[in-house]
Amino acid sequence: MKSQVTKRLFRSNLIAGVLCLVFFFLYAINSAETFTSWGDGNWASEQIKGAKTMEELTQLFHRAVSSVRWAQSVTHFTTWLVVIATFSAFCFFCLNVYRIGKLHREISKNEHDT
């Protein structure tokens, strides 16, 4: 019985650790993706000054808004992903604490009986 409980405990700890690493890796990748070239003031002013007509300026602003909107959606998605991952890891760790307590009670009971 003890070996089954410890194997399940080990597996759940392994799953929790892997989930934490995967979500941290995804967050690190996606947070780097959220940088837009429109955040650089010099580059943006050069682009605006380089527009010759109002149509070019309008297209430039459409691209800028689209780029910023994409960055915001990626940031929003990854933030929720990190919140869900944190909650999942917390649930796994709480389950492990429960299992450790159960294992401890079982071992204490066996020592008392012996």
Given a cut of 60, is residue 109 above it in pLDDT? yes
For 76-108, the pLDDT digits (tens) are 887 888 788 778 877 887 787 788 778 878 877
Rounded CA gap, 102 and 82, in Å? 30
Which tokens belong to 66? Answer: 């689209």
Q: Which of 20-29, 52-61, 64-73 has the lowest mean pLDDT?
A: 20-29
Q: Where are the domains of the chain?
A: 2-113
* pLDDT surpasses 70 at 33: no
And the tokens for 18? 């892997």
